[in-house]
A and B are shown apart, each in its own frame.
Chain A
Amino acid sequence: MAYKMYRGTTLGETLQETLDYLIQFGDLNPNLAEDVLDQFDRSVNRLLRHNDKPQLTFKGDKLDVYRFCDKVWILILKDVVFYERDGREKHEILHVGKMKIVACETRIGM
């Protein structure tokens, strides 16, 4: 079973909106829609894992709140700066006032 938390991304939410709409108008039955979401989970997990996407580093001024339950971390970080490495140089790419991280335990072989 592939992780479902990526459904909360824009890519996942647009898919869910699409499916809801299609169900409403009779193009799709809910079971098939659920199968699509399951496939989305598999696709996203696999494609994220099989690409060497960039590596980032970040520095958070404050960890405001955290929750750890069922091996899922939910973290609220404040005043976070993200850096991306470009060859030998490190560039600041983002500065965020408040952000939420939802992280599941790293799982391989999915």
Chain B
Amino acid sequence: MAPSKKKAKVPKSQAVVPRFCQRVIDDVVSNMRQAFLDDGVGEQALQRMLHMWRSKMMKSKSIDLSPAIPPTPEAVEDLDEEPCCSTSKRSKKEKSKTLGTARQLDGPLDDSDDETFDNYLDYDDEGDDPDDPDDPDDEAENSEAEAEVEDEEEPLNSGDDLTDDEAIEEKFETENMVACQYDVVSRSRNKWKFIFRDGMMKIHGKEFVFKKAEGDAVW
């Protein structure tokens, strides 16, 4: 253990990302195979798409699994000091070794084995599941989507009046992004409550996935 520092744990919402991405990619490729064949561009084009997509994902630091818990907000991650840095450094070396390999991950010439994003999960087991089978989901929960805004629209008031379109757009600009669905967005006076689900986040350059995210904020 590193002295005077807890071993930083990679949160599960981060740890599941590589496998999730792999699944999406595989699903898209196998579902598009027939269309590619019908279109005449064939398996070759499909493989080219697959490898380029995977390659871009590898290169984007989204698969970097050093934990995104800086002690101070907005801290720039100094990967060299992260306890997992040896992992990410190793991963980077491995990345460059495997990038050139053309592998077919499905289809008749399937030789897929371990050469997936999972290889980069090179840390211990914390929060790393065995592959979960694709159970049919309990969709009974929270089937109602509610958007309760307690009253009609108020103008953005007191000091928030932005007449300039650009200024408004600027307020919406940020690299940190969450795409998700909402079960609940409600407010009482200026206290807002949220229940989101099925979300993908990119925060400080790192990717996260969540089933449900519940929180609040003050406006």
Contact = CB atoms under 8 A, between A and B. Distances in A.
Nearest to B50: A18
Interface in B35-81: 35-36, 39, 41, 45, 48-49, 52-53, 56-57, 60, 62, 67-70, 72-74
A68 B69 contact: no
A33 to B, nearest CB: 9
A56 B213 contact: yes
Interface string B181-197: 11101000000101011
A25 to B, nearest CB: 9
B53 to A, nearest CB: 5
A51 B69 CA distance: 25
Contacts of A108: 139, 143
Contacts of A5: 179
A45 B53 CA distance: 19
Interface size class of A (residues with CB under 8 A): 35 or more
B200 A6 contact: yes
A42 to B, nearest CB: 8
Contacts of A100: 172-174, 176-178
Given A35-B32, A48-B198, A86 B127 contact: yes
A18 B13 contact: no
B216 interface: yes
Interface string A13-46: 0110111011000011100100110011011111
A39 B31 contact: yes
B24 A11 contact: yes
B132 interface: yes
Interface of B: 9, 11-14, 16, 20-21, 23-25, 27-28, 31-32, 35-36, 39, 41, 45, 48-49, 52-53, 56-57, 60, 62, 67-70, 72-74, 127, 132, 134-137, 139, 142-143, 145, 147, 149, 156, 168, 171-174, 176-183, 185, 192, 194, 196-200, 202-204, 207-219
Given A9-B200, A52-B211, 14 more contacts: A22-B49, A27-B41, A32-B41, A42-B31, A48-B200, A53-B210, A59-B217, A62-B217, A63-B219, A65-B156, A98-B176, A99-B176, A106-B142, A106-B197
